[in-house]
Structure 1
Amino acid sequence: MARLQHTVTLAPVPRRWFESCVTTLHDLAEGLDVEGAYLRLPGGRPLPGLVLSEGSHLRPGARYRPVNEKDGQPDADQAVTVLAWDRHRETALEVGTLDEDPAHRAESTCVLRLVNAARPREAWLSATLRTSGEKRSKYLGGTVRLHLDLGAWWPSAAGRGRRPLAAPLTGTLTHALARATVTVVPRPAPGGRWRVTVKVRVRGRSFARPLLPVAMAVMGRRAHRAFAEALDDAAREWNGRLPALVRKEGEELRAELTGALLAP
């Protein structure tokens, strides 16, 4: 088994601001006007690049597709499907893509679930990539599953909570040759920031099980360095963009999110 660990310091996301974002996104989606397959924001501005191809807007089973830039038709290989839409219970969306390449057909599915958008408590993300066609296609796919306990994240980031060592964010990554478990724990840092520790444990599977210890013995330092550098790069990106964004509230935040929806 291989073990990786690294800690980064991040600009914090205020809980009230995060909840405001979730509420605003629900308000924007529920405020869309539907004219046949076309969607319009309040005020009549069209929502570009997306059409309702099946079902009723925001009802379970509703399916939205991006518009193909070449011919202006809905893209049959991509879709966003509503699995649930109740801000007081659960919001769930599925994003699916299909690549019909004859050499290796690939199908990906990503599902995001959020419990109680009015007061977010938990979120799940699962993603699956399936491939077929070539003999080695099974080695190109895999699954990712993440669970975020939103009710525990901010107390942990503030140094409170009954179980200070429990991980509010956990996940698994499963591949034909390896399985990794991930834990993410935030703790308080000076200046109100977050000190976030990411731990990864990797176990080999199938014929890779006995090879993983050998690989780590040979490339262990390089793997640890690459892991740390990737997290440091992500932290710099986060810290460079987030502070200006979390200062936006109310109508300014709504305008920012609306602008993101209107972007090409």
Structure 2
Amino acid sequence: MTRHPPGGHARRMARFQHTVTLAPVPRRWFESCVAALHDLAEGTDAEGGRLTLPDGRPLPGLVLAEGRHPEPGARYRPVNEEDGEPDADQCLTVLARDRRGETALEVVTHDDDPDHPARLVCALGLTSVERPREAWLTATLHSAGGKRAKYLGGTGRLRLDLGRWWQATSHGRHSARAPLGGTLTHALVRVSVTVVPRPAPDGRWRVTVKARIRGRSFARPLLPLAAAVLGRRARRAGAEALERAAVAWNAQVPALVRKDGERLSAELADALLGP
């Protein structure tokens, strides 16, 4: 067995931590919005591939290309503005639809760049519509750009335990496990992220984001050098990005949570219709 000197793992790993304060999202409001959005999707009708909102207004820009709306296997494509035909490079597929079990969607986008053709696959899932327990997101970028293709792609995964999140934001006992965590895997690095909220005295959330970066392949021995040279600048950039995101969140969320699920669903329907 190979033995590493004390602190050897730490020297091959870069760490980041930053805390922001966010406006809270009430659990009941979140759950009502999830139910309302599902009702909107399930109430939309499809005839001849064309989609119609529950109030009878036609939904432009999106068609049912395959399958039965909105059952698993249903495949939707955006419509090209130039010729009115479905876009073969983009596709949304229903992977699962069970209000008591799992609901999941997949979005696939192709980029036909002759030098670096790429394929991005994103999937989003939720367990239980009536009482959301868990949400997850995966994204994988594949490239066919020759020998360097593996360095142009990667995979990201996020998983949110909603029960632990609401528990962590309350004034009670908190789980030791982070409610939100994920990984970003690249040929040269692997980034692990955890997000832990805690209640602030004024009722808002104090959210701490931690990241650990490990080198992979030939980048493993180079990570300590990169951390020494760029670490402070990278941590500052990460903190500034989180602060900007917090400012945007706090500017928009308080107004959103004052609207009920039905009103948000109606506004979403109006937005889908375009100008």
Tell me the TM-score normalized by structure 1. Answer: 0.96
Mean Cα deviation higher: 152-161 or 224-233: 152-161
CA contact (8 A) 2:168 2:198 kept: yes
Could you give the per-residue CA deviations for residues 22-77 of structure 1, whole angstroms, max 9, x where no partner exists?
10111001111111100001222011211000000011110000111111110001
Distance 2:120 2:55 in 1: 35
Mapping for residues 14-163 of structure 1, pairs under 5 Å: 14-163=26-175
Query: What does residue 233 of structure 1 align with?
Result: 244
* Counterpart Cα distance in 2 of 1:230 and 1:75: 34
Instruction: Report if the CA contact (8 A) 1:152-1:161 is conserved.
Output: no
Match of 1:74, SS? Answer: coil
Pairwise CA distance, 1:161: 3.6
Shift of 1:219: 1.5
Alignment partner of 1:210 is 2:221: yes
Pair 1:173-2:184 in alignment: yes
SS of residue in 1 equivalent to 2:182? strand
- The Cα of 1:135 is off from its aligned counterpart by 2.5
Unaligned residue ranges in structure 1 (runs of 5+) = none
Q: Deviations over 1:92-150 (max 9, x none)?
A: 10000111222111001011111001110001111000001233221110000011000
Q: Are residues 1:263 and 2:265 paired? A: no
Distance in 1 between residues matched to 2:155 and 2:196, nearest whole Å: 22
Map Cα deviations across residues 180-232 of structure 1 (whole Å, 9 max, x no partner): 10000000013211000000000000111011100111111111101100100
Where 1:123 maps in the other structure, the secondary structure is strand
Cα distance between partner residues in 1 of 2:173 and 2:71? 37
For the residue of structure 2 that corresponds to 1:135, the secondary structure is: helix
Alpha-carbon distance between aligned partners in 2 of 1:204 and 1:2, rounded to the nearest angstrom: 9
Question: C-alpha displacement at 1:250, in angstroms?
Answer: 4.7
SS across alignment from 1:136: helix
1:152 maps to amino acid: R
2:10 is aligned to none
SS at match of 1:263: coil
1:167–1:183 CA contact under 8 A, matched in 2: yes
Structure 2 contact 95–104 (Cα < 8 Å) conserved:
yes
Query: Percent identity between the aligned chains?
Result: 70
Contact 2:29 2:261 in 1 (8 A): no
Q: Which amino acid aligns with 2:240?
A: E
1:160 CA displacement: 2.6
| 2:6 paired residue number | none
CA–CA distance in structure 2, aligned partners of residues 211 and 22 of structure 1: 45
* Alpha carbons of structure 1 residues 242 and 70: separation in structure 2 relative to 1, 3 Å: same
State the shift of 1:162 in Å.
4.7
Which of 198, 202, 206 is matched with 1:191 structurally? 202
For the residue of structure 1 that corresponds to 2:71, the secondary structure is coil
Gaps of 5+ in 2: 1-12
Q: 1:249 to 1:206 in 2, by over 3 A?
A: same
Q: Amino acid of the residue matched to residue 57 of structure 1?
A: H
Give the distance between the partners of 1:24 and 1:182, measured in 2 at CA: 31
